[in-house]
Structure formats: structure tokens, C-alpha cells
Structure 1
Amino acid sequence: MWLFFFVSTPGVGSTRDSNQSNTSTVTKRTTLTVPLQLQADVDKYYITGYPQNVKVTIEGPSALVTATKNTQNFNLYLNLKDLSIGQHRVQIKESGLNSELTYNIKPKYVTVNIQRRETKRFAVDVDYNKESLATGYEAGTTEVSPDTVTVTGADSEIEKISKVVVKPILPKGIKSTFDQEVLVQALDKNGKTVNVTLNPQTVHVKIPITIQSKQVSINLKQKGDSNNTNFTFESDVKNIKVFGTQSQISAIGDSVDIPIDVSDVTSNTKKSIDLGSALGNKVAFTDPETINVTINTGSTTSSTNSSSNSTNSTNTNNSSTDNSNSSNTNSTESNNSEQ
């Protein structure tokens, strides 16, 4: 009886039905970014010119729009199956959208280029600016891993490739080994990038950067004009370490001459000698970079000799005076005797 009363009474279920009706009639609009799919033989053909993703704006019942947004259970695609090699303007189509939804795809059309697909392996070259190395430093054999990459693209683009290269950017004045992942590029004869796909897209590049060194003894040599020829040189440093390229170090013997300029020296003095300048930039640098040199002119010895001579002269004069006095005394005594 209660069920009969509930069903037959006017207006009892009308509120619920009205609410459902209002919900279903509320519209909503949203824009989604969706991957664009290709319907084509991609193993045989290489297709370019299309975007990876497109935007679609859908509008319809709120619940349906929300469900579609959450599930994205529809596709946007290009049908290229019946198209020949070359360029084509193709409309983007959809499948799977509910018929109660309206939609607008942007862009509606795209221009694609269909070419025969080709895959080829290339060795990876390394191109970098050697001027970035610090003075005296040298780069060893470059290591690239992997040293070859697979290049895929239209056969016409593959033919344009002059070389596959990585261009590591070395910091200015680098003194240590360069070790980084670097992007791979396929270039034509003019150095422009070719539109192909590379696998892998980066490779590991290692460039050993070192400097050669050698320990040598030093010989202090007089340089410059001077009236004094009795110069002698002293330094606590007897050996130094020189650094440079392989060719520079090979050209250096077991000892090196260090010129000491005495043209402005008039007395005993000390000088700080820059070894790099003294060696005429034959090496990159030295350790230590400077040495202290004591320059002896021999003036102390000369002064001593002069003093000695003066003393001898004084003694001689005194001796002469004594002898004269002695003679005078003898003469007086002789006269007294005669008287």
C-alpha cells in the first residue's frame, strides 16, 4: 500500500526528476592538449611537418565534459595511408568523442611531408676550440662514448649529411680534463643542421688536458755592460721546475741559463728575478716563479786593499822619520866626541 501511495501520488518523484534534468542541461566548455597520432606506414615512410600535440575545445553537458577531460578516451589523428610521397595538406580528425559533445580542433589542417624512410650509422666527430686551453696545456686523445649514432630520416635529408658532430664548449683557460654529456648534431656541408632523428641524442665526451714538466738546474749568468768585471752571483735556489707543452719541455736541457742584468749595479745588492721572463717565455711557467739573487761587486775587497795600502804608506813614512832622527842623533854624538 505504501508503494502504491508513493507511485500514484502526484509530485512525489517530480523534484528528483527535475534536478536530474537541470544537471544534464548545464553546459561546460574546456580546452585539452592532445597528442596527434599518425595513420601511416612509419616503418617505410618518414613524415615531418606535423605538430606533436594539438588543442581541442570540447563543449557539452557538464558531467560529460568532465568525464571526457579526465579519461581522454578519444583520439585526434591524421590519415595518411592513401597519400603518395611529397607534401600534403591534411585535415585533423577525431574518433571516440561522445556525440553529445561539440568540438573545435586547432589547427584544423596541417601540411605534412612524406618521404621514404632511411636509417644509417655515422661516426661522431668532436669539434672544440683549442684556444680555450690555458697556456702550456695540451689536449690528449678525445674519448667519445658511444662513438657512433643511428640517424633516421627522409632519404633526401640523409644524403645532405656531411658529418655528425659534437661541439663541447670548454671554459676559457681550462687546466683539467673535460668530461661531459654533449648534444649530437647532424650537419650539411655548409654547417647547417639537417632535419633527422639521432639515436642517441647525446654522447659522453672526455678530453684529457695536461701539461708537461721537468726539473732542471740553473746557471746564473752576467748580462749587461759594466766597468766592473768582478761580479759574482749567489742564490739559495739551485733547481727549478719548468712547465710547458711537450715540444717546449723537449727543447729544454738538464740546466738553463738565467741572465742577471748588472748594467745598473754599482754596489753589492739583491735582485728578484722573474724566471719566466729570464727564460724568454720558452716555457709556460716555472716553480718557483721568481728567485732572489745576491750580486757581489767585489767593492769590499777593493776598499780593504786600499786601506791596507794606506797603512803601509803611513808605516813607511814613520820609518823614514825614525831613520832621520836616528841620523841626527848620531851626528850630534859624533861632534861632541871630536870636541
Structure 2
Amino acid sequence: MIPLTGGAGGGEKAMDKFVESSWFVRIVALLLAVLVYTSVNFSDFQLNKKADNSAQENSEIITDVPIQAYYDTENLFVSGVPDKVKVEVEGPKSIIESTKRLRDFELFIDLTNVSIGEHRVPIKHKQFSDKLKVTVHPEAVNVLIEEKVSDNFVVSPEFNDNMLAEGYQEEAVSVDPKRVKVTGSKAALNRIVYVKATLDVKEKVDKETTGTAKVQVLDGELNKLDVKVEPETVQVSISVKNPSKKIALKVFPKGTPPKGVKITSIKPETEELTIYGKESILKEMEELVIPVEVDGVKKDTILTVPIEIGEGLNFVSPQTVKVKVTAEESSESEPENGE
């Protein structure tokens, strides 16, 4: 033990001596080394933590992924391949997001060495990142490989009569082209009963209309057949007509004239109308009877009366008619309206 003598001056000398000693230098160096080591390792920990977070496993499903089928398209026809499937991918989130955005991968079935008949084949994939685990839903599909045949079929154009404007009726429906080429298996073509194209419109039709319609190939039970159609769409045109008929116009008084006034006659200037509408409605009509309001009529007058038409009719000519009303004074004892 070193005795502490000499007071404050002795203590300062001892401290100076300690600072200048080799032990002091060693201790300071050790503390600096520990500080540097801790700082470096903490930084590495933070970087590793960030890397671990970015590499954290995620799982997402990509929908509506098309499938490519490889086979002898010249001589064979394949049915049963779904248009689109789902793909589940697991891996780093950043790679999943990039995969979803770019969609530079491919799903396919390889039938190049598969014989004619029914087969269950796996759906394969390529061009996915090695860091992703890929699962296709479904993983395999049942396909039927048959000899390809083609034939031409006449297309039947169709139109929904409910889309006709009031009073109009279909005059003719045509399609262009009239024939389409249907390609598929021999069994599928033998089942064809209907090849049709239905024109779909958004507004009521009151004039000649043409639109694009998809060709449908159906069996006897209206099931869609798995075949290829060329062209897939056709132009369907519909012409409409607005039938007309001349009928008699008759009028009658409605209401009560003022007290002391009698209606002696009521006669329209024209006694014939032309009405337009469905033929089934026109066939039953021979005349149109309309009321004429005589309330307030005190003397001879001419009234303009609108012609109202019923369901199934869409136009009348003329749309208004002038009616001559003849009135005269009457005694209170006389019945009104000539009664």
C-alpha cells in the first residue's frame, strides 16, 4: 500500500504518475475497443434485423392466370383445359410484389408426347423466382385429346322481341357472315344442334339496327360445346316495321253542360284516323271512340280534342282532332244532353 502523505500536492503527483503509467494507457485502449466493438455489432444487428424483416415469408394468391397448352395443334383437339387458374406464391414480400406486377411467368401443360384419350396432367410453371414457393390451384387437370375435325355451319340470328319499341314488330333478321367454321373433336361436332348469334341491345329498337353478336355452339339441351369458332363474332342486323291501319273515329259527349243548355249535336271534322302499332292489335280495331268534354259549353263551339291511344299502339294521325259542338237553350223541364 502506498501511504497518502504530503496532502493535496502528494495526491496530484500520484494521479499524474498513474496517468502517465502504462496501465492507464492499457485501460483506456480497452475501453475504446469495447466501445467500437459494441457500436459495430449494434449496426450489424440493425442491418440484419432489416434484412430479416424484408426476407420475412409472405403468402399471396394471384388470380386469373392463363394456361398455355403445348400439343400438335394441326391434328389434335384438346378439351378440358381451364382458361384461367389461381397461383399461390410464398416468399419475400418484395419478390411477391414484383412477380404480381410484372407477371413475367408462365403456366402450361405439356401434351407433346401424350397419346389420344383421357389424361390427368399437371400444370407446370416457369420463370418464377427461385426464392418463391409456387402452388397452382388446381395442380392438375383432366384433359381429353382427340383427333381434330372442322366443318362449316349456318348461323341462326336471333333477337329478343321484348326489346322492340312499343307498337313495332320484327320484319327481318339477318347475319353476316352466314356461315362459320367450327373446329373440335368429332364427337363434339356430332353433338351440334344449334349455332346461333343473339343480338343484344341496350335501348328499345324502333329502326334498323346492326350490332356484333358472339356465336354460340350448343347441343340439343342448350349446353355450350367446347369447340373453336371462326369467326367468333358476327354482325346481326334487324329491320323493324310499324304497321298501320285506317279506322273510323267516333265521339260522344262527356260531362254536363250548364243549366238551361242542351247539346244537340257533336261531330268531328274528320271521321277517319290512321293508327300504328302491332298487327295483332290493329286486326281487332275497327273504330276508336273518344270522349269530348262538354262541361261549360253554353253555345256552339269548336273544341280541339287530343287522340289517346292504348297499349300496343305507338302513333296516331292526326294526333288531335277538331270537334264541332252544337248547343241551344232549353227549358228547365227539358232533360239535359237530349235525354
Identity %: 22
3-state SS of 2:224 partner? coil
The residue type paired with residue 288 of structure 1 is: P
Across the aligned residues of Structure 1 and Structure 2, the Cα RMSD in angstroms comes to: 5.3
1:221-300 matched pairs, under 5 angstroms: 234-237=267-270, 240-244=273-277, 286-289=316-319, 291-294=321-324
Q: 1:258 to 1:40 in 2, by over 3 A?
A: closer
More strand by share: 2
Q: 1:191 to 1:237 in 2, by over 3 A?
A: same
Asked whether the 8 Å contact 2:249–2:270 carries over to 1, the reply is: no
2:138 aligned to which of 103, 107, 112: 107
Q: 1:276 to 1:195 in 2, by over 3 A?
A: same
1:81-230 matched pairs, under 5 angstroms: 81-95=112-126, 102-130=133-161, 133-134=164-165, 136-169=167-200, 174-213=205-244
CA distance in 1, matches of 2:202, 2:67: 41
Instruction: Please list the CA deviations of residues 114-142 of structure 1 after superposition, one character each: whole Å capped at 9, or x if unmatched.
Output: 12222322222122344654564332332
CA distance in 2, matches of 1:285, 1:244: 7
Asked whether the 8 Å contact 1:273–1:293 carries over to 2, the reply is: yes
Query: Which residue of the partner structure matches residue 14 of structure 2?
Result: none
CA distance in 2, matches of 1:146, 1:197: 16
The residue type paired with residue 181 of structure 1 is: T
CA distance in 2, matches of 1:260, 1:100: 84
2:71 aligned to which of 40, 46, 56: 40
Asked whether the 8 Å contact 2:70–2:111 carries over to 1, the reply is: yes
CA distance in 2, matches of 1:130, 1:80: 46
3-state SS of 1:180 partner? strand
CA distance in 2, matches of 1:64, 1:260: 79
The runs of 5 or more residues in structure 1 that have no matched partner are 1-10, 223-230, 262-266, 301-339
The runs of 5 or more residues in structure 2 that have no matched partner are 1-36, 253-263, 292-297, 331-339
CA distance in 1, matches of 2:103, 2:325: 91
Asked whether the 8 Å contact 2:89–2:96 carries over to 1, the reply is: no
CA distance in 1, matches of 2:73, 2:173: 37
3-state SS of 1:140 partner? strand
3-state SS of 1:158 partner? helix
Q: 1:195 to 1:219 in 2, by over 3 A?
A: closer
Q: How much does 1:180 deviate?
A: 2.6
Asked whether the 8 Å contact 1:129–1:170 carries over to 2, the reply is: no
3-state SS of 1:121 partner? strand
Q: 1:57 to 1:285 in 2, by over 3 A?
A: closer
User: How many residue pairs were aligned?
Assistant: 268
Q: 1:286 to 1:80 in 2, by over 3 A?
A: same
CA distance in 2, matches of 1:90, 1:196: 20
The residue type paired with residue 192 of structure 1 is: N
1:79 aligned to which of 87, 100, 110: 110
Q: 1:70 to 1:181 in 2, by over 3 A?
A: closer
Query: Which residue of the partner structure matches residue 264 of structure 1?
Result: none
CA distance in 2, matches of 1:98, 1:247: 69
1:65-76 matched pairs, under 5 angstroms: 75-76=106-107
CA distance in 1, matches of 2:201, 2:98: 53
Q: 1:248 to 1:43 in 2, by over 3 A?
A: same
Q: How much does 1:47 deviate?
A: 1.4
CA distance in 2, matches of 1:118, 1:145: 24
Instruction: Please list the CA deviations of residues 31-62 of structure 1 after superposition, one character each: whole Å capped at 9, or x if unmatched.
Output: 574543323212222212233344152547x8
Q: 1:131 to 1:29 in 2, by over 3 A?
A: closer
Query: Which residue of the partner structure matches residue 55 of structure 1?
Result: 87
Task: Provide the TM-score with structure 1 as the length reference.
Answer: 0.56
CA distance in 2, matches of 1:201, 1:50: 19
